[in-house]
Structure 1
């Protein structure tokens, strides 16, 4: 005998198949303007009905997977950590989307009292409009996300008043507007209600800021990982001061007279700030105070096929990151962080694993730091602790992991050393540099001398003592 839920699933599947068949031969390019807009509105209305069902089911899964149920929660019975993971396996949607669905679904789901009685949803007006297909998901999310945090401070009656007004504006028309508000307008209107109902709040502003601080998990898009940061003012001030100290020409640390060969930074300000941050992270990871993971310093794991590494093509992959890594980035990480060869058989079995090589050890790093003092590219102010060690003669070309073949480069100059035009040569174990063509004032490569480069204060003091003294 079929259950009611099986019948419902069958009916929804049939409706899905019918809709797919109806739209199978659709070519939107052949529609006239008005017909295209009418179809767009109709599809959105149908989507609201589907979204309402998505929210209802997500809210119910969240309720049945709540933590207080322990091992009896639905997610645990299905071998999942929580309701989000369970929904992700079923729907294949992203965890971020599912978390939002569960939040809205729970807020618009009828509640159960301790006595077992059924109570209205926390947001009954939004719940009813969602079921009717008149309120969109984005507008519902804007209303709930804005009003839910202030419920305890403003009371149920005030919140109900704001909710009804916002749902009315989102579904329209109203006295104020002949057309429904779009989701962004609803969110803006919700912020107005928030400011009216909770102008000061019972929590001090600083306490609210403490609760709101954070750095979001990254979302990969177009080869970049996008994060949102909400920093406390004093933390942002420290961060800003640190960046400015290494980017502002007036505040850059100087050891001698201004360097006439120091290049003008070609990077945009935002790019330079990123690169200083990258160097800061490298320095923090190498710090002796950094927590150990498995007995080793925090380490980024990158996998790449040996054939791709040999041919310098293809991509690498970072453990825990969705974005593929260019071969240039892989080679930079290998140069600075080392390499282990893992031989995996055709059947997927790990055949062998080599020990780590191509890594400058702590003693070598200390020696190179004493000699170089920081990134050796003239004009760069990144300190030694934040710099990486670059093989002047690449390991693939027979270069050894030795102090006479390693120099300090910041993250940016290490990443771009093969394309920027800067040349590095070790002469009797001492780093010398030659600027790129655009900094040579028309001189040829042959007419451009190699110049010793160091940021070490003791080395610079020694060089100054050796300079001839003019006697009048």
Structure 2
């Protein structure tokens, strides 16, 4: 007898029932996403795609948002599989596997080869409903191999990918893959740092030394000043710290904020300042001239840095574009008498900078929060966090 008072068989029946219900809800969600995509609904909220809307407004991970979009497209091309998904017999993950067979390129290849897609749909559906998940993976892969038995010469740029996951403490986890040539270049570059710096007593693992070499490679590239200029500013590491914390010798946990929003200690900020440039940014009329008045139309590096520190990225609702994708926008346009000042500035990515020049509007409220409005005056809001049900 389990703690809930159900015998084992009853619990397993409930598990199967909930899985089927989840599959049905996943199917409904995928179809709704597809309808929204076809209607270009994200444009109403100033976003380009359903994937970006799902990330910004529903707080989905990038891969999950992309999978939802792909699944919504897949059930259109594979109606039998879609019906099984609607009925709860097929999971979202199974649909995602089958979706690889109905990308635009593979649909074109199938049409050119005279493939009857309804037959493929029936086979995929039968295997998905009756066989283990691994069998569906194999069946889909065999179809892809038969569709293009020789396979084109791979484009190396399409074989290169890198995913960077940022954690709450500012650390990153990297995962990715490189083609043979790209991988060779990568290893040769890192190995040069590892071999030239082998101090006595270094007990770091190979993985730790490779990580250090990657950071050193970035250090050298940033210091050389030869990286592409981003939004009129050379790439740089920005850290915001109060003067008192910078001058103090204490560790000062959580005293400094990096450009990405990660919080670090005052000690680590002082370490970065040893071989960096320290700028005094004052959010007021003294020190760095944040208010440039009407004499200068474009924000200089001081004003841009202050705007980056305040806004942290694009302020348009639902957008998570980092500072280096953004322009400094005049809230009251310069041509209309607006001053070039921090108070009259907002950080906007290129897409949303264009949007606010075509009817959308961003506004900073007295609570220091940004609000975004559609051309019809209604506000764009992201859903509030879900609340736990009251017992």
User: Cα offset for 1:278?
Assistant: 0.7
Change (3 A) 1:276 1:60: same
Higher-Rg structure is 1
Pairwise mapping of residues 412-431 of structure 1 onto structure 2 (< 5 A)?
none
Partner of residue 138, structure 1: 93
1:230 aligns with 2:197: no
TM-score (norm 2): 0.61
Q: Does the CA contact (< 8 Å) of 1:286 and 1:297 recur in 2? A: no
TM normalised by structure 1 equals 0.52
Distance 1:49 1:279, change over 3 A: same
Structure 1 residues 206 and 105, CA, compared in 2 at 3 Å: closer, same or farther?
A: closer
Partner of 1:268: 205
Count matched residues.
281
Change (3 A) 1:34 1:200: same
Check the 8 A contact 1:213/1:232 in 2, yes or no. yes
- 2:224 aligned residue (287, 291, 302): 287
Q: Which of structures 1 and 2 has the larger relative contact order (alpha carbons within 8 angstroms, sep 6+)?
A: 2
Matched, 1:245 2:192: yes
Alpha-carbon distance between aligned partners in 2 of 1:354 and 1:33, rounded to the nearest angstrom: 70
Instruction: Call closer, same or farther: CA 1:181–1:265 in 2, change over 3 Å.
Output: same
Question: Partners in 2 of 1:263 and 1:289 — Cα distance?
Answer: 33
Partner Cα distance (1:151, 1:306) in 2: 60
Asked whether 1:153 is paired with 2:109, we answer yes
Residue 158 of structure 2 corresponds to residue 191 of structure 1: no
- CA RMSD between the two structures: 3.3
Q: Deviations over 1:372-399 (max 9, x none)?
A: xxxxxxxxxxxxxxxxxxxxxxxxxxxx
Distance 1:307 1:32 in 2: 64
For structure 1, list consecutive stretches of 5 or more residues without a partner in the other structure: 1-26, 66-73, 109-120, 173-179, 254-258, 345-349, 356-472
On the 8 A contact 1:147/1:190 being kept in 2, the answer is no
Q: From 172, 193, 206, give the equivalent of 2:154.
A: 206
Task: Summarize deviations over 1:166-211 as a string: whole Å, max 9, x none.
Answer: 2222211xxxxxxx423x553344223322332213x2x233x44x
Q: Helix, strand or coil for the counterpart of 1:157?
A: coil
Q: C-alpha deviations, 1:120-172, integer Å up to 9, x for none?
A: x3222222222222111111011102553533224462554444322222211
Aligned to 2:31: 56
- Kept in 1: contact 2:280–2:288 (CA 8 A): yes
Structure 1 match to 2:253: 313
5+ residue gaps, structure 2 = 290-391
Q: Say if 1:134 and 1:314 are closer, same or farther in 2 by CA, change over 3 A.
A: same
Shift of 1:314: 1.8
Residue 451 of structure 1 aligns with which residue?
A: none
SS in 1 for 2:172: strand
Contact 2:127 2:135 in 1 (8 A): no
Structure 1 residue 164 corresponds to structure 2 residue 104: no
- Are the structure 2 counterparts of residues 307 and 273 from structure 1 closer, same or farther at C-alpha, using a change threshold of 3 Å? same
Aligned to 1:333: 272
Contact 1:52 1:130 (C-alpha < 8 Å) held by counterparts: yes
Cα distance in 1, alignment partners of residues 253 and 88 from structure 2: 51
